[in-house]
Amino acid sequence: MSNFANLEMVGKPMDYYKTYRDNIKKVTKARVQEVATKYIQPDQLAIMIVGDFEPCNKGGDQWAGPLDKLGKIHNVALPDPMTGEVK
């Protein structure tokens, strides 16, 4: 019941779930590329790495590294949660 109330709240038709898979199948690579080009602005993106920076910077199968190829790197040191010390 709550699913249908949610559909009403967000303005979706009541047959939304019945047609969902067919609508997903209609999506083309060209349409995804068109929407990505319209809304994704590479100069406004930020990549956040939480954890060990060096393996990410070195690269691997998915990215050749170093990360500064993508732009300026800002290393933000966070305080140790136990001591408050910034390393």
Q: What is the pLDDT of residue 78?
A: 84
pTM above 0.85, yes or no: no
Give per-residue pLDDT as tens, 43-72. 888 888 888 888 888 888 877 789 888 888
∠ Cα 15 35 46 (to 5°): 115
For 24, phi then psi, to 5°, come to: -65, -40
CB atoms within 10 A of CB 82: 6
Q: How many residues appear in the chain?
A: 87
Q: Rounded to whole angstroms, how far apart are CA atoms 70 and 73? A: 9
* Rg of the chain on CA atoms, in Å: 22
